[in-house]
Amino acid sequence: MKLFGSEKKFELKTNMDLTQGSISGGILRFCVPIFISQLFQQLYNLGDAWVIGHYAEDEAFAAVSSAGSIMFFFFGFFAGVSVGGGVVISRYYGAKNTERVTAAIHTNFLFGLLASVFCTIAGTLLVPGILNIMATPADVMPYSLTYLRILFLGISANIMYNMCTSIMRSVGDSVSPLIYLTFSAILNVALDCLFVIVFSWGVSGAAFATVVTQFVSVILCIVKMRRAKDFTRLEFGKLKWHGDIMKEVIVQGIPNGIQNSVISIGNMTVQKNINAFQAAAMSGMGAYQKIEGLVFLPINCISMALPTFISQNLGAKKFDRAKKGAAIGIFAGMIMAEIVGVLIFFKAPAFLRLFEDNEAAIEFGTIHSSTVSLAFFLLAFSHCAAGVMRGCGKSVVPMATMLAFWCGVRVAYVTIAVEIWPVFRTVSLAYPITWTLSSIVFFCFLMFSDWTHTYEKKR
């Protein structure tokens, strides 16, 4: 404890030491701010969808709905690396190694700045070609181009926000991201109403609102990190590329980044098949994806908390505590996701009408909902199990598993099955099938491998 100074100084108000106290209570206290922040993130997304769905053309809503997989293709890689960086920081934080925590924080922040420059340039140049490859309908293409070009000009804010929140959560601070996201969600809804409803800017207004609020979020994060009173303080003069730490981040983060980017290719392939059913299908799927965000509330908060919990406890050599925490987290995520899934299964049309008035679009969204919603417990298991593996340093396992099934099998299935059975439900079935396969692999790994001693074996 002396490495951290006095015990009183170590126990900051926003930073949590997850190696002490009740396991379920610690996970719950850490998850609650993440859950609320994810809730506001969904309100952020729902605000966009509601305003565009009711105050812009159907083609505009289709464009906004289909943009997610393209955006994630670019920044998903660096978001994955930031998760790996958080695992490295958490492990040193659990081991009470202040010097390495400080170096890791500044190395990760510098990496985020470099990634921001790359994504801005690459995205702006490549997005027209990607939209053509995805067979974007001609009536939707102008809206998609406008929306994505504006988003890519501000993608640096998205990358740096993910990097900063990953750093803060890695030292046990899940409260600050909640506060900033809450403020940004409210601001985003207000700007959506101003730009889209009052100024009638359509997709341009929605894109500008998103970019502005993302920059506000990252500025708030940086101010918070600059005001820290201990070794976690961000100081621009200390930004330095520590090669040994970056090597650790790469080992932990590159598999996550590759996983995100390649899975996004699989999702873009699925989106291409959705686009073939024209704008109504794109809008219906987009409306469904906003509803599906409710499912990801429990999944995201637990899968984001587990790497921090696992890595802190393994860093402190509390192996049994890490194993018990993994079981509690995974089970809780599955139960909560399935409860929401059952609700969506029975009430999908009513939820879809919150964002879309077109009955044809609602029909497509209902078909997809009825096909996938009862399998949400499998989605939760896969994500939470992957969080455990990242926390224990086995990030290659979720990467290989998800690439094999969520990309390889998903693309192969959609490509072949749609030719045989050319209906919309065929596309939807790609999700529960691949969730099932990945869950089987993750279950076997957790049950039959000694994942708790990964770092010890490496040393």
Closest alpha carbon to 68 in 151, 143, 11: 151
Is residue 411 within 8 Å of residue 327, measured between CB atoms?
Answer: no
Q: How far apart are CA 266 and CA 324, in angstroms?
A: 34
Contacts of 190 (CB under 8 A, 6+ apart): none
Between helix 243-275 and helix 58-66 the angle, nearest 10°, is 140
Q: Among all chains, which residue has been given the structure tokens 């009862």?
A: 374
Q: How far apart are CA 396 and CA 322, in angstroms?
A: 19
Closest alpha carbon to 173 in 256, 92, 111, 90: 90
SS3 per-residue string spanning 171-183:
CCCCHHHHHHHHH
* 434-441 long-range Cβ contacts below 8 angstroms, 24+ apart: 434/405, 434/406, 434/409, 434/410, 435/375, 435/378, 435/379, 435/382, 436/375, 436/378, 437/405, 437/409, 438/382, 438/401, 438/402, 438/405, 438/406, 439/378, 439/381, 439/382, 439/385, 441/401, 441/405
- The pLDDT tens digits along the chain (459 residues) read 333 333 333 333 456 778 888 888 888 888 887 787 777 777 766 777 778 777 877 778 777 777 777 787 777 788 878 878 888 898 888 888 999 999 999 999 999 999 999 989 988 898 888 888 877 888 888 998 999 999 999 999 989 998 998 899 888 887 888 788 888 888 988 998 999 999 988 889 989 998 999 999 999 999 999 998 889 999 999 998 888 888 888 887 788 788 777 777 777 778 888 888 877 888 888 888 878 877 777 888 888 889 888 988 888 889 899 999 999 999 999 998 999 899 999 998 998 888 777 888 889 999 999 999 999 999 999 999 999 998 888 888 888 898 899 888 998 998 899 889 988 899 999 999 999 999 999 999 999 888 887 666 655
pLDDT tens sequence across 353-387: 887 778 888 899 999 999 999 999 999 999 999 99
Closest alpha carbon to 270 in 118, 395, 372, 143: 372
Q: What is the CA radius of gyration of the chain?
A: 21
- Opening angle at CA 441, ends 326 and 84, nearest 5: 55
**Is 139 strand, coil or helix?**
coil
Q: How far apart are CA 166 and CA 170, in angstroms?
A: 6
Q: Among all chains, which residue has been given the structure tokens 């059952």?
A: 342
Q: How far apart are CA 147 and CA 389, in angstroms?
A: 36
Q: How far apart are CA 156 and CA 117, in angstroms?
A: 7
Closest alpha carbon to 79 in 175, 164, 174, 179: 164
Considering the entire predicted model, what is its pTM? Answer: 0.69
Q: How far apart are CA 313 and CA 91, in angstroms?
A: 8
Task: Show the DSSP H helices in 95-201 as ranges.
Answer: 98-133, 141-153, 155-170, 175-192
